[in-house]
Amino acid sequence: MPVPAGIPARYTRTAKVLHWLVALFILTNFVIGLRMEHFPGYAHTSLEWNGILFWHGSIGALVLWLAVARIIWRTGHRPPPLPANIPVWQIGMAHGVHGLLYLAMLALPLSGYAHRVAGNHAVSFFSLWNWPNLFAPNESLRVLFGTVHISLALGLGGLLVLHLGAVLKHLIIDRDGVAKRML
């Protein structure tokens, strides 16, 4: 089906760069997050442990700001249309998964920040500055935000599996060019 005039057939270069940077940093942080409880010999109070948290938190903040940039960019740039032969339920699923991915890209770093602040820990951005403490330390909140953070990370992992499954379906089975719009 030809693309209507004025609507791009592919995502913009900026949208692609933001997409792939966010993907890279999310996957990096996901691996760090899964592994950080299991680094050999690391005690939660050690310098090595704090180094892991430093990188995890700084990358998480970077994901947050890149996600905000993506949302701002998206408001002024329509995505390319989906082919007309895609069933309505699949379009609904795609929009739902994308919406939840954006929500997770915002909520996950914020819950990590809240977890650290509630635990009375400074939250640095690559040692350039410390984020402000917006509330007082509180052990109950620390535990709550830690649980929320882990739950959101697992939810994000599930969403990424759905997203990648859809990409593979469009690349291998449908061969309809949908996935290539972001390549």
pLDDT band at 7 (very low <50, low <70, confident <90, very high): low
Q: Tell whether 3 is covered by a domain.
A: no
pLDDT tens sequence across 23-55: 999 999 999 988 876 665 556 666 776 778 889
Count of domains forming the chain: 1
Q: Tell whether 85 is covered by a domain.
A: yes
Q: Tell whether 107 is covered by a domain.
A: yes
User: Residue 92 belongs to what domain range?
Assistant: 13-182
pTM for the full model? 0.88
Rounded distance between C-alpha atoms, residue 132 and residue 21, angstroms: 26
The residue type found at 44 is H
Tokens of 149: 């953070």
Average pLDDT, integer, range 141-145: 97
Q: Tell whether 28 is covered by a domain.
A: yes
* Inter-helix orientation angle 139-168/88-118, to 10°: 150
pLDDT band at 1 (very low <50, low <70, confident <90, very high): very low
pLDDT tens sequence across 93-107: 999 999 999 999 999
Q: Tell whether 87 is covered by a domain.
A: yes
Q: For residue 26, give the CATH number of its domain.
A: 1.20.950
Q: Tell whether 55 is covered by a domain.
A: yes
**Dihedral pair phi/psi, residue 130, rounded to 5°:** -100, 140
Q: Tell whether 5 is covered by a domain.
A: no
pLDDT tens sequence across 162-171: 999 999 999 9
Q: Tell whether 2 is covered by a domain.
A: no
Partner residues linked to 125 by β-bridges: 129
Query: In this predicted structure, what is the pLDDT of residue 5?
Result: 45
